Amino acid sequence: MSADKTSPRPWRIVDRGGQGPVVIDKDKIPVVAFDMRQVPQDMANAKIAVKAVNNHDDLLEAAQMAYDWLSQCHEGTHQAEIAGELLKAIKQAKY
């Protein structure tokens, strides 16, 4: 998936007053709506989803910078092993 195919960010939460939260994009278009079951974790789930989406690119950039630094370490060192694991995570997190 490409970043240009996602809903425009930042996303934010709108409380629908008794109908569960809805996540909207920058253009105020609904992205995710929670059903009317009103489970206590609906708002917490909405908050963590919005936080993750809105910070995704910055976190990926930070991980890439950490990888770039760690990848300069010599093969067989603990830092080189960490760099390898970090690279796997970066690849999985990209669109």
Confidence of residue 3 (pLDDT cuts 50, 70, 90): low
Say yes or no to pLDDT of 1 above 60.
no
Count of residues in the chain: 95
Cα 72 to chain centroid, rounded: 27
Q: Where are the domains of the chain?
A: 3-93
Tell me the per-residue pLDDT of 17-53, one tens digit each, with 9 for 90 and over. 778 899 999 999 999 988 767 677 888 889 999 999 9
Asked whether the whole model's pTM tops 0.75, one would answer: no
Backbone angles phi, psi at 32, to 5 degrees: -140, 130
Q: Are 34 and 20 in contact (CB under 8 A)?
A: yes
- Mean of the per-residue pLDDT values for the chain? 86
Q: Are 59 and 67 in contact (CB under 8 A)?
A: no
> Which burial class, exposed, middle or buried, applies to 79 when counting CB atoms under 10 A from its CB (0-12, 13-18, 19+)?
middle
- Predicted pLDDT of residue 27: 97
